[in-house]
Amino acid sequence: MTLKVKNLHRIMEEHAPAKFKESYDNVGLMVGDRDCEITSILVALDCTLEVIEEAKKKGCNLILTHHPLIFKKPNSITTDTLIGKKILQLIKNDINVYSSHTNLDSVKGGINEIIMELLGFNNYFTIDPSDRRGDNDNNTGIGRIATVTESTTLSELCDKVKTSLNIPVLRYSGEDSYKISKVAVINGSGQDYFSEARRLGADCIITGDTTYHYVSDFNEEGIPVIDAGHFGTEWPAMQVVAKWLKNQLKFKGYENFVFESEFSRSPYKYK
């Protein structure tokens, strides 16, 4: 059975409806043709020039990313800008790009909940529920807070995050011996939800992209912050999404191969 871009859109929409994206976000088909037949799919966190080249080499004519290729409307599409170079490369090589971002963060079984499962947290609720949820939807929204069932210190939790998310280093604040009972997890950049997490009883926050003053203030208030990085709190979940998509395609009768990008990596280096 032939898989077209519009079929992939339907599958992603069923799992993470675009209506659940945040107001500032841009999701869906970024570049491409809805009637195009898909050869293979490359799953990546970002549509970088390296990822585009990887798609070309692997014969993938659709790149599924978490972060939108087009976040803000470009004024022009030329080789003078990075976004222009990417779009022109994609069009030249007949490669489609589809992005599922904050809608995929928010839904049941989405990025945030996958990270919760990878960390071994089961008893959790949503920090900022979406106002577009249905009556029986108690999950959809940004961030999750879990009750820690076993006695855990901050130092132990840091080690668990590193192991579970397969990251070599992380940043954190707080006393190593601090006992944690309720932890908030917000994948990617979560600072906008720190105050609400605190109000809901979180005594530790795991996220990425933290800045000095936020962490300093919460440290003074006795709430540790574990910064596992934007990449570290999202790419492990996107790898799970790639496996989910492969299974979904097979279940629906499609035989297209799904690759996990070998060039999805953090831009940061550490010495």
State the residue for tokens 């191969």: 257
Query: Residue 222 and residue 154: Cα distance in Å, rounded?
Result: 12
In Å, what is the CA distance from 124 to each residue of 112, 145, 184, 236, 266? Answer: 11, 5, 9, 20, 28
DSSP letter for 233, please. Answer: T
Specify binding-site residues for a divalent metal cation: 66-67, 105, 230, 234
Q: Which secondary structure element, helix H or strand E, spans residue 177, and what is its range?
A: none
Alpha helices in the chain (DSSP H): 5-15, 49-58, 82-92, 102-106, 111-118, 154-165, 194-199, 212-220, 235-251
Query: Residue 43 and residue 242: Cα distance in Å, rounded?
Result: 6
Query: CB-based contacts of 118: which residues, under 8 Å, 6+ apart?
Result: 164, 165, 236, 237, 240
Specify binding-site residues: 66-67, 105, 230, 234
Alpha helices in 76-207 (DSSP H): 82-92, 102-106, 111-118, 154-165, 194-199
Phi-psi category of residue 41: left, alpha or beta, with phi > 0 → left and psi -120 to 50 → alpha: beta
> Bridge partners of 44?
65
Query: Residue 230 and residue 212: Cα distance in Å, rounded?
Result: 16
